[in-house]
A = this chain, B = another copy of it.
Amino acid sequence: MTATTPDGPESSNPTMPLAAAARVAARPLAALDTEARAALLEALAAALEDPHNRAQLAARNAEDLADAEAAQARGDLSQALVARLAIGPSKLAALSDGLRRLAHMPELLGRASLRRALDEGLELERVSCPLGVLGIVFEARPDAVPQITGLAFKSGNAVLLKGGREALRSNRALVAIIHAVLRTQGLDPACVTLLEDRAAFAHLLNCTRHVDLIVARGSGAFVQHVMDNTAIPVMGHAEGLCHLYLHADAAPDQAAAIAEDAKCSYPAACNAIETLLWHPDAELALSAVARRLLARGVGLRVDPATLALLSSLAPVEAGLIEAGLIEAGQIEAICDADDDEEYGDLTLSIRRVPSLDAALAHIAAHGSRHTEAIVCADADAGERFIAAVDAACVFVNASTRFADGYRFGLGAEVGVATGKLHARGPVGVEGLLTYRWLLRGTGQVSADYGPDKRPFLHRDLDLD
């Protein structure tokens, strides 16, 4: 953490009045009762289905898409980014569905997690409450706007949003719909504020007194940049260096299927694997993995033991390797730097390790504590792996790609946290809450209690 950044005069920080307004707007939002909160989420779901709103949004989204496709034609924008920009009827239907599910999830605010009589007439409660004001920065994906807004409504937090600039017109249209919903529900539109450019977001990072949490989604380098430039707590994952370890008895089919999913289903995701480790007895499993990944065009960075195994594969494949793959660069020798590199593309480093313990040591030294997985037939090996790995997510015989709020059934995901404090791994609504200690007395003073004085009762009471 750096020196606390003083908020400074509002005149020099154009975002600060917006953040201050969010702080004020957050109070009535936090105070909604369960029915009113559900009605707010239902109203937003309905607004995304309204034909007039859809027409407005479609027009703005078409403008964003046209610009993006032109940029893609010039080579300035990736196909994947352009695909994420589109927000058509099926995405909107899924968004409305998600908002209605959030509306009907149990109330999370105002719940007592502890209730204790310190003495007769002196009752302590620990009660959940919103964090207050969130700043969330995310990629050029306009569906994130209603998703994040839904999480903010459910958790009672006001939010300042900064999306990718390629989606600006779509995001503006979505926030206009959200503001209209807030007004019809008697709430302040300042509950949801769109920050339109990077400068506004940079100023938000200085609004220390008005913002309680920054959630940063994007590349590891970007998240680290955010963390380096604010005294506000940041939730995000600056790194996702995940391993898959094939134990001695790993079933080849399972290993191949899991490795393919973990590497190829979305290589840029933080929960994709970067390194595969294999036990000397797992030759068949490793061979099956290598065949599958080479066929999918994955580039392999391999240690000598792995190269030797690959070269001993069935003649036609060995011929392939010797004749083409090494020359073509699809198989390369691994170097030490590979152990710490998050490729984010169809590249995988592979090392043979002498034992499960050696795999654990490699993961402890190089893992980013995001998600680590083992493939094994022996349940004991799986439990040893689970016991020893210090990571947000530890998986046995399942793809690392399951590390995701939607797949975990958290309703929706704010992001994935690789820090250990507060929330860890995929973060849903609960990660946007904190608690307060409430004490209701009848005039008690602390000096009356203690050794040789009045004892505390400390009698736990039933929760609701």
**C-alpha spacing A407/B124, complex, angstroms:** 10
Chain B nearest CB: distance from A345 CB in Å?
18
Which residues on B sit within 8 Å (CB–CB) of A257? 443, 445
Contact of A397 among B132, B233, B443 (CB under 8 A): B443
Query: Main secondary structure on chain A at its contact with chain B?
Result: mixed
Residue of B27, B224, B265, B395 near A4 (CB, 8 A) is B224
The segment out of A51-59, A81-89, A298-306, A418-426 that lies at the interface is: A418-426
Q: Is A310 an interface residue (CB 8 A)?
A: no
Contact between A421 and B424, CB atoms less than 8 A apart:
no
The answer to whether B265 and A439 have CB atoms under 8 Å apart is no
What are the 7 A-B residue pairs with the smallest beta carbon separation, nearest first?
A398-B441, A261-B445, A409-B458, A401-B446, A254-B443, A2-B2, A422-B422
Query: What sequence of 0s and 1s flags, for each residue 391-409 of chain A, a beta carbon within 8 Å of any chain B beta carbon?
Result: 1111111110111100111
Within the complex, the shortest CB–CB distance from A14 to chain B, in Å, comes to 22
Q: 6 A-B Cβ contacts within 8 A? A: A27-B388, A124-B408, A233-B420, A265-B445, A390-B436, A391-B436
Q: What is the bound-complex CA distance between A388 and B436, given in angstroms? A: 12
CB proximity of A102 to chain B, nearest CB, Å: 14
Min Cβ gap A308→B in Å is: 28
Which of B262, B397, B436 touches A392 (beta carbons < 8 Å)?
B436
Supposing A422-B422, A434-B424, A437-B426 touch, asked if A399 and B444 sit within 8 A by C-beta, the answer is yes
Whether the Cβ atoms of B425 and A437 lie closer than 8 Å is yes
In the complex, how many angstroms separate the beta carbon of A407 from the nearest chain B beta carbon? 7
Complex Cα spacing A421 to B387, Å:
27
Q: For residue A400, give the distance in angstroms from its CB to the closest CB of chain B.
A: 9
Decide: A258 and B443 in contact? CB cutoff 8 A. Answer: yes
CB of A212 within 8 A of chain B? Answer: yes
A172 to chain B, nearest CB (A): 28
The reply on A438 being an interface residue by CB < 8 A is yes
Asked if A420 and B434 sit within 8 Å, CB to CB, the answer is yes
In-complex Cβ contact of A439 among B124, B253, B395, B419 (8 A): B395
Query: Could you tell me the distance between the alpha carbons of A231 and B1 in the complex, rounded to whole angstroms?
Result: 5
Q: Judge whether A151 is part of the interface by a CB distance below 8 angstroms.
A: no
Q: Which of A261, A401, A404, A445 has the largest number of chain B CB atoms within 10 A?
A: A445
Of A392, A398, A435, chain B has the most CB atoms within 10 Å of the CB of: A398
Q: Enumerate chain B residues within 8 angstroms of A401, measured Cβ to Cβ.
A: 445-447
- Smallest beta-carbon distance A215→chain B, Å: 12
Our pick among B390, B419, B443 for the contact of A132 (Cβ within 8 Å) is B390
Given contacts A424-B435, A436-B424, A437-B403, contact A443 B118 (CB under 8 A): no
Q: How far is the CA of A237 from the CA of B242 in the complex (A)?
A: 35
A200 at the interface (CB under 8 A from B): no
CA distance A458 to B101 in the complex (A): 13
From B253, B404, B440, B447, A382 is in contact (CB under 8 Å) with B440
